[in-house]
Amino acid sequence: MLRGFYTAASGMISQQRQQEALSNNITNAQTPGYKADQPALRAFPEMLMHQMGTNHVPTSRGLDFPVQNPIGPMNTGVYVHENIPDYGQGDIRETGVPTDMALINGELPDETGGLFFTVQNEDGEERYTRNGNFTVDGNGFLVTTQGYYVLDDSGEPIETDGMEFNVTENGVLQTAGGDIPIGIAYTDNVNEFAKEGDGLFNGEAGAVPAEATFTIQQGSLERSNVDAAQSMTQMMESYRMFETNQRVLRAYDESLGKAVSEIARLG
C-alpha cells in the first residue's frame, strides 16, 4: 500500500511541475522570440515482482528449496525528466520600430538547426537569442531591452550612433559611418542549447554555413511560438490528472487508517 502512496505522490508532483511550465509559457505568450517549453514525463524504472516461496522435496531429511515465481512488472510512478523548448519559428509581427528586427529562417542544412542573434551578457560572454526587440542605449550601442550588447560578425558591440540606420535583408546594418554585418550564429542542433532567462540561450554555435539562408526584417518582431489556447487546454488536463492522483492518495490514506484502527480494535 505504501508503494501506492509513492506512485500517486509522484504523479501529483509531476503534474504540478507541468503546470508550472505551462503557466510560464502562457506568461510569455507575448514575449518576442520566446520558445515554449514542453515538459517531458518519464516513468521510473519498472520493478519485476516475484512470488517468494519454497518447494518441499520429500526426502528423508525433508529439504525445502526457495523458489521465485515471476508475477509481472510494477511501475513506481512518473517524473518530469526535463523541459524541452520548442524552437519552431513564431509568427512575424510588424511594429514599425526601426530597432526591431525579426530573424526569419530560410533553408537550413540540418533539421535540428537554428539561427540566432549573437549578444553579450553581463559577464562579457556570448549568448544567443531570437528576441529582436532591440534599442539604442545612451552611448549609441545597439542593445537588447535588458541592456545586453548586440554583437557584429566579429564579436564586437554594434555602435549605431543613433536611431537612423537601415538593416538589409541579409543582415547588414547600414549607418553613416559604414556597414556593419550583424552577428548571426548557427547551430546544427538546437536541442543542445539551454535556456538562461531574459530570452538568452547558451550552447555551441558558429558561423552560418553557405547553404543556410535567412532574412532579417527591420521594423518587425518574431512573436512567441506559444499556442495560448492549446496551453490552457493542457493546463486543464494536467489539473484533472492532479485531482485524480489526489483522490487515489486520499483513498489509500482512508484504507490505511481503517486497517490500522480495526487492527488496533481487535488487539
**234 and 181, same structural domain?**
no
Can you give the pLDDT at residue 156? 95
Residue 65 lies in a domain: no
Residue 180 lies in a domain: yes
pLDDT at 267 over 60: no
Residue 55 corresponds to which cell in the numbers above?
A: 518447494
**205 and 106, same structural domain?**
yes
**218 and 136, same structural domain?**
yes
Can you give the pLDDT at residue 143? 96
Q: How many domains does the chain have?
A: 2
Residue 189: burial class (beta carbons within 10 Å; 0-12, 13-18, 19+): middle
Question: What's the whole-model pTM score?
Answer: 0.78
Residue 204 lies in a domain: yes
**154 and 111, same structural domain?**
yes
The residue ranking higher by pLDDT, 147 or 7, is 147
Across residues 115-143, what is the average pLDDT? 94
The residue ranking higher by pLDDT, 233 or 265, is 233
Q: Which one-letter DSSP state was computed for residue 90?
A: P
Can you give the pLDDT at residue 69? 76
Residue 62 lies in a domain: no
**77 and 172, same structural domain?**
no
pLDDT band with cut points at 50, 70 and 90 for residue 62: low
Query: Which residue is it, cell 509581427?
Result: 93
Residue 215 lies in a domain: yes
pLDDT at 1 over 60: no
Can you give the pLDDT at residue 47? 67
**99 and 78, same structural domain?**
no
Query: What's the domain range around 44?
Result: 2-52+73-83+227-266
> d(Cα 154, Cα 163) in Å, to the nearest integer?
22
